[in-house]
A and B are shown apart, each in its own frame.
Chain A
Amino acid sequence: MNLVLKVENLAVQFEAMRVINDLSFSVNKGELLAIIGPNGAGKTVLLRTLIGSIPFSGTVEWAPGSRIGYVPQKLDLDRDIPITGLDFLRARVALAGKRALDISSILMQLGLPLEVAKRPIGALSGGQFQRILIAFALVGDPNVLLLDEPTAGVDVPGEERINELVHRLQQSQGLTVLFISHELSIVNQYATNVLCIGHGRPCFGPPRTLLTPETLRDLYGTEVKYHVHDR
């Protein structure tokens, strides 16, 4: 087992509110961990804690040499900010130095024309900007990807392309992926393990054992119409 991330007894507290309580799980190299749970359960807080943006108690241990690419959920940007997608991606290339990958080939894989990347980021549509953020994460040549609902706001072909690209990188380059998703069919199709946080105790395990009507009801606090299909 090649451990990439070990989390033990993780707790995060904002003022008087405890958002994450006593959470433990681990992720091996090349695995795809899906994080599921109701709105407000602390999924985004968990990813932001893992990248060091939020103070916590407990243990978060990344394997040495981990290069993290993080794709946030959505960003509130003014429409008239004169920074183009290309300005933003080139800044990443400059920061990555020799490790940086080629911007245009990554944009092509994501199905985003270069012309679109030349527009100011505030003027891009939600789905276009989302793909710029994914490109940003990939340009830094990561070996771990943290994705917070990466396909939210992306059109259907774009969504399929992103899911396939992430899956392909995971398979071909041994990329480790942690992703938040509300789409249980995607989770079932791609995830190695599932971490669920929400009502009741957190649970952790392979999708086949976790995505059952009972666990989902406990997790969301209500009946969920979802049936696990054979993979």
Chain B
Amino acid sequence: MSTTVDILLLSVAMAAASGFIGSFAVMKRMALAADPLSHVALPGIGVALALRINPMIGAAAMLVFGALLVWALEDRARAATETVIGVVFSAALAVGSITTRGEDLIDALFGATGSLGRGELAFGIAMASAIIAFIVLSRNSLIVAFVSPDVARTAGVNVRRLDFFYLEAFALTIALGLRFLGVLLMGALITVPAASGRRLASSLSTMLQITVTISVTSTLIGTWIGLYLHRQSGPLIVLVATGIFLLSLLPLPFSARRQSQVTASR
């Protein structure tokens, strides 16, 4: 049986991975793609429940497929890609809502920590570690490809392959967070802490540190409040992260770096 410690352990690992992935997602202007992509998990959950297999397996399979679809479409005109993502993934949400019923649907949408097997705990932590390792090891390629894919190519970066791995890591991060935040809210944990990090940091390493710290802190506080109030933790985690983002919008002392930047460069 799962203990609170197991659940906290997995949620911290998930939140850390989400912080690393999210930092690049907000820079790559992928923040809006996080939501529709996470919706694609719902039909996977519905089918897995119908087949009486672990719903997380169904969700992960659909997410990996969804990321593959985004990657394949990326080569085409950008506007067309966004339209297709909007249409396909909203349809996925509709299909998923029909195939998943009652309580299962609410759990899938907003997350339900439930019971956690040792195997799932080990697998989840391994996956989170792999995602973090991917970002840390590929950060140089990701930075250069973000600034200019053309320049990255001349620096020996295989941009298409990097995009593919990034999107799949992104999809797996969503899969990791579904248990805690559900299909509707996981996108928020990827983007909201990173949005605060982007506002507060002036270099990449500080952004990663700030984002991961906010992501993990929000998850721990949200989970703790959830346990205390006997409520689902997902919405609480997102509310804490949003509260921190609102604090990051405050002027002094946080915006000191912006003002110094503007006066220094213009």
Contacts and interface: CB of A to CB of B under 8 A. Distances in A.
For the complex of A and B, list the 9 residue pairs with the smallest distance between their C-beta atoms, beginning with the closest.
A91-B140, A82-B201, A70-B154, A82-B207, A94-B140, A91-B143, A123-B261, A68-B154, A123-B265
B144 A92 contact: yes
Contact of A87 (B156, B198, B199, B203): B203
12 contacts: A52-B153, A53-B153, A77-B147, A80-B258, A84-B203, A88-B147, A91-B140, A92-B140, A116-B265, A120-B261, A125-B265, A140-B155
A122 to B, nearest CB: 9
B138 to A, nearest CB: 10
B149 A53 contact: yes
A51 interface: yes
Given A86-B203, A91-B143, 11 more contacts: A52-B153, A70-B154, A72-B151, A75-B148, A80-B198, A82-B206, A83-B147, A84-B203, A87-B143, A87-B204, A92-B140
B263 to A, nearest CB: 11
B154 A125 contact: no
Interface residues of B, number: 34
B202 A75 contact: no
A133 interface: yes
Given A68-B154, A87-B204, A94-B140, A80 B147 contact: no
A94 B155 CA distance: 10
A53 to B, nearest CB: 5
Contacts of A137: 151, 154
A80 B265 contact: no
A88 to B, nearest CB: 6
A68 B258 CA distance: 35
Given A81-B27, A91-B139, A120-B261, A70 B203 contact: no
Contacts of B149: 53
**Chain A facing B: main interface SS:** mixed
B221 interface: no
A35 B199 CA distance: 41
A221 B99 CA distance: 63
A82 B197 CA distance: 9
A95 B203 contact: no
B1 interface: no
B125 interface: no
A115 to B, nearest CB: 8
B204 A82 contact: yes
B150 interface: yes
A88 B264 CA distance: 20
A204 interface: no
B261 A88 contact: no
A120 B144 CA distance: 14
